[in-house]
Amino acid sequence: MKTQVAIIGAGPSGLLLGQLLHNAGISNVILERQTPDYVLGRIRAGVLEQGMVELLRKAGVHQRMDREGLVHTGVELAVRGRRVHIDLHGLTGGKTVMIYGQTEVTRDLMQAREAAGALTVYGAANVEPQGMKSDAPWLTYEKDGELQRLDCDYIAGCDGFHGIARQAIPAEVLQTFERVYPFGWLGILADTPPVNEELVYASHERGFALCSMRSATRTRYYVQVDADEKVENWSDQRFWDELKSRLPADLAERMVTGPSIEKSIAPLRSFVVEPMQYGRMFLVGDAAHIVPPTGAKGLNLAASDVSTLFDILLKVYREGRTDLLEQYSPICLRRVWKAERFSWWMTSMLHRFPDADPFSQRIQQTELDYFVDSQAGRQTIAENYVGLPYEKVQ
Ligand code: APR
Ligand code: PHB
């Protein structure tokens, strides 16, 4: 089999890149290890920056998002019981975010790909990128026990943090940067009305908590837990009690509780690999970088990588601009590092660190007080939260 762009991974990165390329008449095939149901079964992020919303519109997969997504013009921080409103719209010259789950984005992209008749090979085992440094790279994989080969011009490694693409690059070529945090997030999904119209990020001496949502009838709430905590130790009742204990009294009082539909613990990690290119293979999204979820940046960074790679490939195929291929990694990394910094900073400012000495605790409290009490501080949070601009490819 032969295609122009071979994509590894049918998560949001791979599907969005595939859709943009397909619409532009550039052929592509996606190889995905799992089944569609497995991919859709993962509960992930839910806040889309305006840049990502516009990219989904450009890809033509916006109809349901525009109908069902919730536009949020602000976000709240709860600081030791005090509620502070961050006016995203007012502080950024009119920008907003869209609340629409990653699962729904993925579902819409899968349907659009099916309707377009573009090929996704699900259940592709032992995918291996080959010849990345040559002019004619290819992938080998196994499907139903048979070895297959996919020839291509370029490979997009959209296969997430545990994928093969990054691992297929010789270790001496890559530099990795990493931080693991001494806590995780215990999250639940429940069919209950959101406690507040806007998301609430709460800093509390018992630990961080976040009140998010998927719709007017479905909530996604999180509490900070120890890194080695087990989900079996958390009954629904214990979760609700702990969440309420970390929120301002008025929010805790009006919290509607209910049975959880999903409950899981996610570790928090910052990770970046440089460069994001090896010959004719490009790393996209979680394959190249991970952020802790506190800034809601993971999915949005995947989208900006996709946008950059798509713009470059379009110019390569339409105008012969192969000189731009070397620009992919530097353009992406400039934005990636800014989002890494924001995610690390929000995480550092809002969580309880088990080993923090009294001086560090006071500095942490003061930093948060300073930022929420100052217009400049709130503006800094807002500017980053709605998403920094995409760099133009030229
Ligand atoms: N071969 C084929 N497919 C693979 C392989 C492999 N060796 N390894 C992983 N995959 C698939 C996974 O099954 C998954 O469907 O690649 C896909 C990667 O998807 P994600 O992990 O969702 O990564 P990405 O598409 O970059 O999405 C952006 O940002 O912060 C996060 O929550 C956010 O998951 C989202 C991500
Ligand atoms: C979510 O809704 O899952 C969510 C929202 C905001 C975050 C992280 C996760 O910062």
Bridge partners (DSSP) listed for residue 190: 219, 260
H-type alpha helices, the chain: 12-23, 36-40, 50-58, 63-68, 88-91, 102-116, 236-245, 249-254, 298-319, 328-350, 358-373, 375-386
Q: Within 10 Å of residue 35's Cβ, how many Cβ atoms? A: 12
CA separation, residue 80 to residues 164, 209, 247 (Å)? 43, 11, 8
Decide whether any atom of ligand 2 lies within 6 Å of the 298 Cβ.
no
Instruction: Give pLDDT tens digits for 143-183.
Output: 999 999 999 999 999 999 999 999 999 999 999 999 999 99
Rounded Cα–Cα distance for residues 155 and 8 (Å): 8
Decide whether any atom of ligand 2 lies within 6 Å of the 98 Cβ.
no
Site to probe by mutation for ligand 1, drawn from 105, 286, 305 as the one with most ligand atoms within 8 Å of Cβ, is 286
Burial of residue 123, with CB atoms counted within 10 A of its CB: 0-12 exposed, 13-18 middle, 19 or more buried: middle
Statement: residue 380 has pLDDT above 90: yes
Instruction: Give pLDDT tens digits for 202-235.
Output: 999 999 999 999 999 999 999 999 999 999 999 9
Q: What's the pTM value of the predicted model, to 2 decimals?
A: 0.97
Rounded Cα–Cα distance for residues 142 and 148 (Å): 6
Q: What is the DSSP string of 373-393?
A: HSHHHHHHHHHHHH-PPPPPP
Rounded Cα–Cα distance for residues 114 and 212 (Å): 31
DSSP 8-state secondary structure symbol assigned to residue 239: H
Nearest bound ligand to the CA of residue 52: 1
* Residue positions annotated with a catalytic role: 72, 201, 293, 297, 385
pLDDT band for position 44 (50/70/90)? confident
Strands annotated E in 131-258 = 138-143, 146-151, 154-157, 175-190, 200-203, 209-215, 218-226
Domain 5-70+99-177+269-354 is classified in which CATH homologous superfamily?
Answer: FAD/NAD(P)-binding domain (3.50.50.60)
Q: What are the structural domain ranges in the chain?
A: 5-70+99-177+269-354
Nearest bound ligand to the CA of residue 162: 1
Q: What average pLDDT does the structure give for the chain?
A: 97
Provide mean pLDDT across the span 264-285.
Answer: 98
CA 248 to centroid of ligand 1, rounded, Å:
36
* Residues 6+ positions from 90 with CB-CB distance below 8 Å: 73
CA 69 to centroid of ligand 2, rounded, Å:
14
Coil/strand/helix, residue 109? helix
The answer to whether the CB of 73 falls within 8 A of the CB of 79 is: no
Closest CA to 155 of 356, 353, 301, 17: 17
Decide whether any atom of ligand 2 lies within 6 Å of the 47 Cβ.
yes
CA 15 to centroid of ligand 1, rounded, Å:
10
- How far, in whole angstroms, is CA 122 from its chain's centroid? 22
Statement: residue 81 has pLDDT above 90: no
CA 331 to centroid of ligand 1, rounded, Å:
21
